[in-house]
Structure 1
Amino acid sequence: MNFTHPSIRAQIVSILTAWGMPKHLTDITAEIMVETDLMGVDSHGISMLMAYEEMLKLGQLRIAGEPRVVRDFAATALVDGADGLGHPAAAMGMRVAIEKARQFGIGAVGVVNSHHFGAAGYYARMASSAGLIGLVTSSTRGILMVPTRAAEPVLGTNPIAFAAPAGPGHKPVVLDMATTTVAGNKVKVYHLNDKTLPEGWVQDEGGRPVTDSRVAMDYVFKKKEGGITPVGGPEHLGGHKGYGLALMAHILGGTMVGASFSPIRNRTQKPDDPNNIGHFMMAIDPRAYRDMEEYTTDLDAVIDVLHGAAPADPAKPVLLPGEPEEMMREKRLAHGIPMPQSLIDHVRAIAGRAGVAYELKET
């Protein structure tokens, strides 16, 4: 079944409000979650309400936490997320980075004491929409990535997002990726849809592939020892790169800003202790280096050359990073956002426990 995005937004707002989140925080959180679903990143949109409810129940999540700038040095700043959901804190971090980039040519802002912030690409797109280049990384709460030559997961799926504005008539170039083969929550999406996982996503404690999405949920969400392989798999060059990128993302979005490292935090974390996830937001103004029109002319030429490459399948044009999401957004704006019955049932139950009406409307 497909549902209208305004009704999904209204449902998210009503649940977050019932949980105690102030309106100005629910508005930005719901916007980010709905935009994520519109772009086809079903792992990070309304389906995250299940995890957020669990975090709230444990006492880890301070739902009314008000993010604020606690350090401010010229082109850099640090935002304290006040142990709330990551969306408002990360959005504030990128807004501050954008303001600083306009003033200094570059803005680099860290976020600490945060939680899950949705899709990293949303925040990179904030920069490109402002005519700036955006770079986003984050630490994670999960321990899912199996390092090269290791037999157990240690790192998370630490995401990296990058967005570059192009000239008139061209969409921005947007990269939004997990540093593992897939994000852990994508396994959840397959489970909700009762689909078999592609081989190579998840491995068990012996390094063997797991394709049953029900079984994989136990490995990904830590009922069993196993994990998700780095990008390309641990025995390929891509695996080494994914592992290295994950470590880089954690250093920028975790170590540098003062966020926790899950394998260390888990040794002493009490059930109601916040996860202290960190994020890193950078905005760069191309005008600090050259005339903006020269920059966009050159990037547009790059885009045109890539689009002009001979396709392997004439029926499928060559795409740039970010274009599949833009195409999906247009489709879902017109036809609605699909949700499996299992997720619909979860949302209905969460709304009931929150004491609010079920508001999803089919297209």
Structure 2
Amino acid sequence: MSAINVDAGRVRRQILGILDAWGMAPDLAQTAADIMVETDLLGVDSHGVSMLMMYEEMRGSGMLSLQARPAVVRDRGCTALLDGGASLGHPVSAMAMTLAADKALAHGVGVVGVRNSHHFGAAGLYARMASARGLVGLVTTATRGMTLVPPRASTPVLGTNPLAFAAPAGRNPPFVLDMSTTTVAANKVKVYHLNDKPMPPGWVVDPAGQPVLDPQAGMDYVFKRPEGGLTPLGGSLDLGSHKGYGLAMMVHILGGTLTGGSFSPIRNRTQRPGDPDNIGHFFMAIDPDAFRDEGEFESDLDAVIDTMHATAAADPAKPVLVAGDPETATRDQRLRDGIPIPARLDAHIREICARCGAEYVLQ
């Protein structure tokens, strides 16, 4: 199916118009829209404007409280805990990383947890906020859905449970690792469905552990059916994927258990219609100057990145990259050419605008 390329400013206007029509406070809506557009610019199409469909569904069910404002619950030196008010996770997460960075600059390290939140987009955006201030950033989050099928299991229990890490260099762009603890993020399946493309083997399996390639079937297994789902990092359900499964549990412990966020299999037993999901997030910022003289960390990281880039490539046409390089290149290209909006997604956005009374502005 064909796609249209849309200027980033126009995509931001579209998101902002919809959030405004839904009644979100203007300053919080601006934060959410900025983060969602930046996510699309970086090429993370699964977590940007395409999330409006899920947000509309959550709003319609009464789960989202878009008028709520983030609040500080605890503040103890280099740590803090925020409450997201059961609204979208973007504003409270931006506030949390800003606070973590402030604390890191004051104390050497800052750790901020968030409870009672919802989906916050791409974890890497918040890690990048730390690196933009000269800090090392680490972000994890619990998740709403149960999509990860553990090794030896036939049904999903954990979510994609992503984590992100960013570190500032001197001459080079920051090192930014943004990954799910499943082989691929659940919403990546949605992107393949929107583009009507077959999925690579190893992403989704049926209850018998067999690979699922059809994107419609993949959507059913990941988002609707109680059996089958995403594989852990490692791409299989044998003992070799236990490390990815363990990593997913570690991320939940930091993002969910530590912050007071919910664990989906337990929450689903008691959650009533309209109850919020109580998603938890974890943000940490570290000041390199607490360990090194000023500029030494960035200089050494430049040397590491330069060494990786200079490594002999198996294919000279495909030089060795480091984490963050593909997103940086995609951002440059999309700022120039626009953000691709698949025809199916464009149709969904038109329908959302019609339902909420927002102006459709993508074309």
- Percent of aligned pairs with the same residue? 62
Aligned partner of 2:327 in structure 1 is 325
Distance in 2 between residues matched to 1:122 and 1:306, nearest whole Å: 23
Shift of 1:239: 1.8
Q: How does 1:174-189 map to 2 (within 5 A)?
A: 174-189=176-191
Q: Deviations over 1:239-262 (max 9, x none)?
A: 222111111110000000000000
Distance in 2 between residues matched to 1:107 and 1:338, nearest whole Å: 37
Aligned partner of 1:157 in structure 2 is 160
Q: Which moved more, 1:286-295 or 1:337-346?
A: 286-295
Distance in 1 between residues matched to 2:72 and 2:249, nearest whole Å: 26
Q: Give 1:188's aligned amino acid.
A: K
Does the Cα contact within 8 Å between 2:141 and 2:252 map onto a contact in 1?
A: yes
Shift of 1:357: 1.1
Shift of 1:200: 0.6
Aligned partner of 1:42 in structure 2 is 45
Shift of 1:237: 6.7
Does the Cα contact within 8 Å between 2:156 and 2:226 map onto a contact in 1?
A: no
| 1:102 lines up with 2:117 in the alignment | no
Q: Deviations over 1:141-161 (max 9, x none)?
A: 010111122222111000000
Q: Give 1:171's aligned amino acid.
A: P
Shift of 1:233: 2.0
Aligned partner of 1:206 in structure 2 is 208
Query: Judging changes above 3 Å, is the alpha-carbon distance between structure 1 residues 238 and 290 closer, same or farther for their aligned structure 2 residues?
Result: farther
Distance in 1 between residues matched to 2:298 and 2:246, nearest whole Å: 31
Aligned partner of 1:23 in structure 2 is 26
| 1:90 lines up with 2:93 in the alignment | yes
Does the Cα contact within 8 Å between 1:137 and 1:279 map onto a contact in 2?
A: yes
Distance in 2 between residues matched to 1:224 and 1:5, nearest whole Å: 37
Does the Cα contact within 8 Å between 2:181 and 2:232 map onto a contact in 1?
A: yes
TM-score by length of 1: 0.98
Structure 1 unmatched ranges of 5 or more: none
Aligned partner of 2:138 in structure 1 is 135
Does the Cα contact within 8 Å between 1:230 and 1:238 map onto a contact in 2?
A: no
CA RMSD of aligned residues (A): 1.0
Distance in 1 between residues matched to 2:157 and 2:21, nearest whole Å: 36
| Matched residue SS, 2:73 | strand
Aligned partner of 1:357 in structure 2 is 359
Q: How does 1:271-290 map to 2 (within 5 A)?
A: 271-290=273-292
Aligned partner of 1:190 in structure 2 is 192
Distance in 2 between residues matched to 1:83 and 1:319, nearest whole Å: 39
| Matched residue SS, 1:266 | helix
Query: Judging changes above 3 Å, is the alpha-carbon distance between structure 1 residues 284 and 238 closer, same or farther for their aligned structure 2 residues?
Result: farther
Q: Deviations over 1:23-63 (max 9, x none)?
A: 10011100000000001100000000000000000000111
Moved over 3 A (4+): 234-238
Distance in 1 between residues matched to 2:234 and 2:125, nearest whole Å: 24
Does the Cα contact within 8 Å between 1:37 and 1:46 map onto a contact in 2?
A: yes
Distance in 2 between residues matched to 1:323 and 1:339, nearest whole Å: 23
Does the Cα contact within 8 Å between 1:9 and 1:34 map onto a contact in 2?
A: yes
| Matched residue SS, 2:35 | helix
Does the Cα contact within 8 Å between 2:111 and 2:282 map onto a contact in 1?
A: yes
Does the Cα contact within 8 Å between 1:158 and 1:178 map onto a contact in 2?
A: yes
Does the Cα contact within 8 Å between 2:155 and 2:226 map onto a contact in 1?
A: no
Shift of 1:236: 6.0
Does the Cα contact within 8 Å between 1:166 and 1:172 map onto a contact in 2?
A: yes
| 1:336 lines up with 2:359 in the alignment | no
Q: Deviations over 1:269-326 (max 9, x none)?
A: 1120000000000000001111121111211111111111001110111100011001
